[in-house]
Amino acid sequence: KRLVHEAISSKADMVIADYTKMTDEEIDLPQNSSTIDSNYETKESTGKELFLKELDPDQCYVWRTLYRTAFFKENGIIFIPKICYEDVPFTHECYFKAGKCIRASYPFYIYRIGHPSITSGVTIKKGMDYCIAIVRTWELIYLRDFSRIIIKKIKDDVFVSISALIY
């Protein structure tokens, strides 16, 4: 509710929240919204600023972000259909094209660890899908005239992804 209000009132392209990883045994949700309100802070940035400061190529999670629908339509942003790891190039592209972003510093999402997920386990198809995601991320360099520092970070992110694939 808090993030939706932030998204609507700010008219931001993206509202990005924190998350926390927990096992089923560790999950202990706050009992009331006063805890959220007392620890809740936001900061406005551009997508490129957040890309340089915060985007970890191993954590390109779309579920931690609210996106303005018109932002996708205005920028032609879509997922690569029928592959795993589509979050990686999708998230990078969103950060590059987003103007106004709100970064909310509160873990609004609990990522449950210890459960099978679509990306857990290794298969040939998943490896091929990851290769597609890596290539699409690399191709983002050619979207516009990026600064050297952004191009370097894209290359670093691609290297991290290739290393993860090889591992």
- Across the chain, which has 167 residues, the per-10-residue mean pLDDT values are 92 94 74 56 94 91 94 95 93 96 89 76 89 94 88 95 89
- pLDDT of amino acid 20: 87
Quick check: pTM over 0.75? Answer: yes
- pLDDT of amino acid 145: 83
Strands 101-112 and 42-45: antiparallel
- pLDDT of amino acid 38: 63
- pLDDT of amino acid 33: 47
Map 18-82 to HEC letters: EEEEECCCCCCCCCCHHHHHHHCCEEEECHHHHHHHCCCCCCCCHHHEEECHHHHHHHCCCCCCC
Which strands, in side-by-side order, build the sheet including 14-22?
A: 42-45, 101-112, 14-22, 65-67
End-to-end CA distance of the chain: 39
- pLDDT of amino acid 28: 60
* Side chain identity, residue 106: Y
Dihedrals φ, ψ of 103, to 5°?
Answer: -105, 115
What dihedral do alpha carbons 95, 87, 52, 16 form, nearest 10°? 60
